[in-house]
């Protein structure tokens, strides 16, 4: 089940467009525990230098990203140690980005990860049921269909705080994911109290995506999808430029 955290990370898309005040938080950051470049400590330094108030580390849970069976407990320990050091400067949360492994919203993560995570992004990565094939090998209409079914499952999940990069996998590897299907996913997520991530890697121009979320009364979360040193806080900068 979702945990409550002491930072107002859920943002009304409508209020964001009306007030034009971008919360200084970034809830999608990777480190060198998986495919990011920065260490946990370097992320803290960069986030504080950028002027962020809160961050969530959202490490990938697919087992091939880190073959050390101890990695998750080390990751949690390192975040806890650093957030104690920097507690007067920034809030930081332990999170995961877990892939859907069925069309019913089940996630690929261990019990240890669910227990340890304070923030959970659910993602459509390699779609359920395509074992042995890559997303890039799918026909366009097949990719759209599978992305949609995967996202619909996530939109009903009581486990996740927010759906990462809606349409991103289909758009990156096959064909743009249709807006009317994004809207259907957002509508279902709203009914189930699941938030929608706004992501500068996949949702440009951000303004259109945020407007769609506002029309459906959705809560959004901000996530840079940061994998390097200079993209921490990018979502805050980009939204500020666009709204």
Compose the 93-122 pattern: x for residues touching Zn ion by CB under 5 A, - for all others. Answer: ----x-------------------------
Beta-strand relationship, 119-123 and 54-60: unpaired
CB of 168 to Zn ion, least distance (A): 7
Binding of residue 124 to Zn ion (CB under 5 A): no
Q: How many CB atoms lie within 10 A of CB 23?
A: 18
Residue with tokens 């050091």: 85
- Closest separation between CB of residue 208 and Zn ion, Å? 21
Q: Which residues contact 141 (CB under 8 A, 6 or more apart)?
A: none
Residues 6+ apart with CB under 8 A from 150: 100, 103, 124, 127, 128
- Among 55, 94, 109, 123, the residue binding Zn ion under the rule CB under 5 A is 123
Output the CA torsion sign for 216, 219, 224, 226.
Answer: negative
Q: Taking the complex as a whole, how short is the minimal distance between the CB of residue 84 and Zn ion, in angstroms?
A: 25
Q: How far is the CB of 99 from Zn ion (least distance, A)?
A: 8
* Binding positions for Zn ion, 137-166, rule CB under 5 A: none
106/211 with CB nearer Zn ion: 106
Cβ(218)–Cβ(26) under 8 Å? no
Rule CB under 5 A: which residues touch Zn ion? 97, 123
């Amino acid at each position: 089940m979702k945990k409550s955290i002491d930072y107002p990370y859920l943002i009304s898309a409508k209020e964001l467009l009306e007030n034009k005040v971008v919360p200084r938080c970034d809830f999608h950051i990777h480190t060198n525990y998986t495919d990011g470049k920065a260490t946990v400590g370097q992320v803290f330094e960069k986030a504080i230098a950028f002027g962020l108030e809160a961050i969530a580390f959202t490490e990938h849970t697919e087992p091939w990203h880190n073959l050390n069976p101890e990695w998750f407990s080390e990751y949690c320990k390192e975040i806890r140690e650093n957030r104690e050091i920097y507690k007067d400067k920034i809030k930081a949360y332990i999170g995961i980005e877990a892939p859907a492994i069925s069309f019913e919203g089940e996630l690929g993560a261990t019990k240890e990860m669910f227990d340890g995570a304070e923030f959970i992004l659910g993602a459509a990565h390699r779609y359920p049921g395509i074992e042995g094939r890559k997303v890039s090998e799918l026909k366009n209409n097949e990719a759209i269909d599978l992305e949609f079914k995967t996202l619909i499952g996530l939109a009903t999940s009581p486990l996740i705080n927010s759906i990462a990069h809606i349409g991103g996998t289909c758009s990156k590897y096959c064909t743009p994911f249709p807006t009317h299907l994004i809207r259907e996913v957002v509508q279902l997520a709203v009914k189930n109290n699941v938030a929608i991530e706004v992501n500068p890697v996949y949702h440009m121009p951000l303004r259109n995506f945020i407007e769609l979320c506002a029309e459906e009364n959705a809560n959004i979360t901000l996530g840079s999808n940061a994998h390097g040193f200079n993209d921490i806080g990018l979502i805050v900068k980009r939204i500020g430029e666009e709204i």
